[in-house]
Amino acid sequence: MAKKKWLTVGSVFLLFLSLPAAEWQRETAARILEESGYPQLVESLQRQFPELGRDEQAAVSLIIGYCQSRAGNPQAELFWMNKYLGEFRADDVKLGFLPASARQKIQRFRQSWRKDFPVLWELAPVPEQAEVAFFDPPKELRLRLQASLPCDFQLLARDGAPLARGVLGQDVETVSFPLAPDFFRVASHHFRLLLTLRSAPEKTVEKYFTLELEYVHPPEVLFDPLTAEVRLEGREVQPESRSETRVISQRTRFDKELFKKTVLKELLVGAGFFVVNATLFTSTIDNPDTSLFAKSALFGTRRAFTLAGIAFGLSALRRVPKLFKRERVVEEAVHDLPEAREANEALRRDLEVAARQVRVRLALKAL
């Protein structure tokens, strides 16, 4: 019986060993010892990556990071190792399908990254601040931070202003910093996080992330976060009173001051031209001692003076209608509109309710 049991276990083991390896595993095992073929291997693994399971993706991330390191591509190496250490939390992946020499090199490469590169395993607002009331916001923001290695941290605003500092480890830490009064009126905030290894103070890693704000409210509520204005669709404040103007009496008034400044002034000027024309010029022309040359000159001047007098007289006559002004005595009555007042009171109550429904969802996104 015992012999039969061992035969069964052995059969299962042999069957397991005989299962075909995945295509990416066979390709990796065939090419991993030839560094000249790493670009083609990386391209193939990246193409298959989205279709793999989580455990396979973790292994592929580590293998691609190793290949990029050997190929001298530090940015690509950082990208894939950050994915492996952060997204997959440095999972202990199975590499038994690789040749022993390549497997040992990749494991040493993995250990060096795990020892020297701190990764944020958690970066998020505390659960009770994942969604807050816009018009009753918290005075400080609290974040949950967790790192893969013990390290000192500094949290900085986009402009470099220090917000918080402390120590992180493999346990979740809550970090808080004060918020400006208008913090929730801006939909996006940028931050910088400096992680310094406690075991190697000379090594500092920079992490950048943004805090994205999503404003949530009922569909009938119109909300502008920049001005903090809340309105209801199709409803506006109505005038609560109406003014009515009534004419009581009318009269026509003669404007004496305007008459003196305009009509009388022009009449006097025109009369002056006629007086000079009738006295000085006429007497000079009728004088027998005046020469014919002088008389001919005076005739032209007398005609000009006559025309000037007529022009000033006509100008004065044209201004006469403007001297008579109609004046009205009016009375303005104000009528209250009780229906509008009731509608406005209902609108104010509904706006208060709508303001309490305006919420802000917070989401942190690493860059």
Cα gap 219→234, rounded to integer Å: 12
Specify whether 48 is located in the same domain as 195: no
| Beta-bridge partner residues of 241 | 336
- Residue 17: enclosing H or E segment and its boundaries? helix 2-18
User: To which residue do tokens 């009509």 refer?
Assistant: 263
At residue 149, the pLDDT reads: 86
> 126 and 111 share a domain?
no
Q: Distance between CA 360 and CA 341 in Å, rounded? A: 32
pLDDT averaged per 10 residues in sequence order, the chain, 367 residues: 39 36 90 93 95 94 95 92 87 91 94 86 90 94 90 91 90 91 94 88 85 95 95 92 81 78 78 74 69 69 77 80 78 86 94 95 86
Decide: helix, strand or coil at residue 212: strand
Containing domain of residue 164, as a range? 120-221+357-366
**SS3 state of residue 264:** helix
**Which residue among 94, 115, 136 closes a domain?**
115
Count the residues in the chain.
367
Beta bridge partners of 154: 165, 194
Residue at a domain's end among 115, 141, 156: 115
Residues 301, 155 share a domain: no
The verdict on residue 337 lying in a domain is no
Last residue of a domain, one of 56, 87, 115: 115
Cα separation of 101 and 33, whole Å?
9
- The reply to whether 134 and 109 lie within a common domain is no
Question: Per the domain annotation, does 161 fall within a domain?
Answer: yes
Tell me, what CATH number does 214's domain have? 2.60.40
Rounded-to-integer distance, Cα 65 and Cα 50, Å? 16
Does residue 15 form part of some domain?
no
Q: What is the pTM of this model?
A: 0.60
Q: Is 29 a domain residue?
A: yes
Asked if residue 150 and residue 111 are part of one domain, the reply reads no
Residue 72 located in a structural domain: yes
One domain, residues 109 and 197: no
Whether 212 and 126 share a structural domain: yes
Res 295: pLDDT = 64
Instruction: Check whether residue 143 and residue 214 sit in a common domain.
Output: yes
For residue 6, what pLDDT is reported? 38
Q: DSSP class of residue 107?
A: H
- Does 145 share its domain with 107? no
User: Is 299 domain-assigned?
Assistant: yes
Residue type, 16: F
272 and 289 in a single domain? The answer is yes
Identify the pLDDT of residue 184: 95
Do residues 97 and 144 both lie within one domain? no
The pLDDT score that the predictor gives to residue 56 is 94
Quick one: pLDDT at residue 361? 95
Q: How much is the pLDDT for 3?
A: 41
31 located within any domain: yes
**95: Cβ contacts below 8 Å, ≥ 6 apart:** 59, 103, 106, 107
- How many domains does the chain contain in total? 3
Is residue 103 assigned to a domain?
yes
